[in-house]
Structure 1
Amino acid sequence: MVCGQNHRGQLGLGHTSQITAFVPCPSLGPRSIRQVSCGWDFTLILTDCGQLLACGSNAHGQLGLPQVSGHTAKPLPIEALISPIISVAAGLRHSLAVDSSGCVYQWGVGLSSEARRLLAPQTPPAHLTSKEPCPVPALDTVSPNSVTAGASHCVCLTAGGDVFLWGSNKRGQLGGPGPFQSLPRVLDRILLAGESVTDVWSGWTHLVARTESGRVFTWGRGDYGQLGRALQTNQDLSLLSDDVPPAYSRPMACHPMEVKALTGATQVACGSEHSLAVVGGALVSWGWNEHGMCGDGSCEDVSSPAPIAALRQVTPVLIGCGAGHSMALCAVPLAGSAEAPPRASSSAAT
């Protein structure tokens, strides 16, 4: 089911008219869909059999379809991807995919202008400038498991729980030094209390990671509250780990730091500059709230995860965020039921 802005055919309906109510996407036929990832004005659709289709704008090569000039309103298979795909991600104007053989591909030139400016006089590597799927170097020996994309950065999570990051670091989203990283660089586990990562999510310029023990860390841009914690302009090493090397001691707000209010989160979803999470059976939100997407009835930014009062009596099942909106599929208790769904603990808002 699809709805919303469709000026580039990103809904895959075969036309470019805006749709204001959910409608089925007949062009997908009987296919079963495993994952959908949306960029600024394009969509990637992964089927259960591992086929990847794309529709919408191809102005930056983000569809991986060289035969498409401008845009396509019909989902088309990306024929350059031969092996079954297991994970996909759409950035603002670039795309990522992992295939069953463990190869990570990137396409779309959304990162190339920044790369050319910051890497000059060096020539940016092919995966940053290709309009067709191009293998990303340095990931072929680490067992990639999934990919995530921000506005202008890329994330790969391995089967062993390591996080690799590359692309723009303008807002500290790579968790380390340098304005731009052209090749994947592993995030030091020291910054994550020495733990492996089980899940990682990304907004436009902020990231959220959950570790093996259920701890949640955030880093990147935080001026709208999207990190869910106070910004540390002069981070004390003791806040990170006893073994943090001196290279990480300089004042930076971008280092991963734990958000204790999110410990044990079972789901997280990131919008452009806000996030949702399910913690203790309750739905919490934080970050940019100009359009009311934090669901607290106001348009004031939310600096730390807080339960959404309007949803206290329901159980969140599935959550999702867009650039300026949020959605939650919730289970409503049966009429007359004596049991209420789990409520947020007092720690969820601290």
Structure 2
Amino acid sequence: MEPEPHSSEAVPTAAALFAWGANSYGQLGLGHKEDVLSAQQLSDFCKSGCIKRITGGGGHSAVVTDEGSLFVCGLNKDGQLGLGHTEEVLYFTPCKSLLGCAIQQVACGWDFTIILTENGQVLSCGSNSFGQLGVPHGPRRCVIPQAIELLREKVVSIAAGLRHALAATASGTVFQWGTGLASSGRRLCPGQTLPLFLTAKEPSTVTGLENSQAVCVLAGSDHSASLTDAGELYVWGSNKHGQLASQAAFLLLPQRIEACFQNEKIAAVWSGWTHLVAQTDLLWLRA
């Protein structure tokens, strides 16, 4: 995350982290719970390495350093911080149960967290009320990250929505779990049978992607997406805000977005709560 040098001045060797906005649960890591209207720099809480990834959930935040350490703060009523308790945390705090386990990526849902290690294992913590932890017979919440044993193949990408989660494996298969999309699917697609991956409380293969190889998965509050090695983007779930670039109110199965990209290969995709942003090889487009 070092900036590109643009003068003779020395380039910083460590990333600076700034936070602002809603802070009702201390999710900004500033040591208080007052909302912040302008960017404030956090203290150097990760001296051992630069910042590799930053993500946030309904009321909690997570940072992964270059060395693979995980720091968390904010709302923790369901143990979504993975610290072994359910108290709010106002400062970014290392997840000690994962010390010595290099973290590659973290995905924060509304009240749960999905964690991907550098060796491709997936762990989860927080609320499991909708099966979003991928442990169907586990407790209704988990305060320490636990492995999702049913994901036996190496995972390369994870995502978390409001009450569902996804994973893409090294072979390009996409799994989804958590029942967060099921109620909308039943309401908006009356008389149709929901595919298993929309109702599963354990990792279930997303059907409709058999002829593609996923390299990345994404999730919004009520939608999912998958980017393939061929630069194709598939989407499914709620289309309430037009985020899936479809005429349907809800897509039960993955559908490729084609028209708005004019046959250009998609290089990267990001998902917000109710929108998607995609970067093609030549230009930026929003869906």
TM range (shorter): 0.7 to 0.9
Q: Give the equivalent residue in structure 1 for 2:8.
A: none
Partners of 1:178 and 1:136 in 2: CA distance: 21
Q: Give the equivalent residue in structure 2 for 1:79.
A: 44
Q: 2:176 aligns with which of 206, 218, 224?
A: 218
Structure 1: where are the runs of 5+ without partners? Answer: 1-30, 34-46, 116-123, 234-251, 334-350
Displacement after TM superposition at 1:126 (Å)? 5.0
Q: Give the equivalent residue in structure 2 for 1:274.
A: 223
CA separation of 1:48/1:215 partners in 2, compared to 1, >3 Å: closer, same or farther? farther
CA radius of gyration, larger in? 1
Structure 2: where are the runs of 5+ without partners? Answer: 5-11, 186-193
Displacement after TM superposition at 1:309 (Å)? 4.2
Q: Give the equivalent residue in structure 1 for 2:200.
A: 253
Contact 1:215 1:260 in 2 (8 A): no
Displacement after TM superposition at 1:127 (Å)? 7.2
Q: Deviations over 1:226-281 (max 9, x none)?
A: xxx71379xxxxxxxxxxxxxxxxxx821101124334123332111112223343
Is the partner of 2:259 in helix, strand or coil? helix
Instruction: Specify which structure has the bigger relative contact order, considering alpha-carbon pairs within 8 angstroms and separated by 6 or more residues.
Output: 2
CA separation of 1:128/1:230 partners in 2, compared to 1, >3 Å: closer, same or farther? farther
Q: Give the equivalent residue in structure 2 for 1:160.
A: 119
Amino acid at match of 1:258: T
TM-score, normalised via structure 1 length: 0.65
Q: Deviations over 1:96-143 (max 9, x none)?
A: 12234443221002x32x45xxxxxxxx84575211112223211322
CA RMSD of aligned residues (A): 2.9
Q: Give the equivalent residue in structure 2 for 1:313.
A: 262
Partners of 2:252 and 2:223 in 1: CA distance: 10
Q: Give the equivalent residue in structure 2 for 1:144.
A: 103
Is the partner of 1:182 in helix, strand or coil? strand
Is the partner of 2:97 in helix, strand or coil? coil
Partners of 1:131 and 1:271 in 2: CA distance: 26
In the TM superposition, what are the counterparts of 1:50-69 in structure 2 within 5 Å? 50-66=15-31, 69=34
Q: How many residue pairs are counted as aligned between the two chains?
A: 257
Q: Give the equivalent residue in structure 2 for 1:32.
A: 3
CA separation of 1:74/1:161 partners in 2, compared to 1, >3 Å: closer, same or farther? same
Q: 1:171 aligns with which of 130, 147, 150?
A: 130
In the TM superposition, what are the counterparts of 1:1-40 in structure 2 within 5 Å? 32=3
CA separation of 1:290/1:68 partners in 2, compared to 1, >3 Å: closer, same or farther? closer
Q: Give the equivalent residue in structure 1 for 2:214.
A: 265
Displacement after TM superposition at 1:55 (Å)? 1.4
Q: 2:69 aligns with which of 103, 127, 141?
A: 103
Partners of 1:261 and 1:49 in 2: CA distance: 43
CA separation of 1:166/1:83 partners in 2, compared to 1, >3 Å: closer, same or farther? same
Contact 1:106 1:128 in 2 (8 A): no
CA separation of 1:75/1:309 partners in 2, compared to 1, >3 Å: closer, same or farther? same
Q: Deviations over 1:11-46 (max 9, x none)?
A: xxxxxxxxxxxxxxxxxxxx739xxxxxxxxxxxxx
Displacement after TM superposition at 1:304 (Å)? 0.7
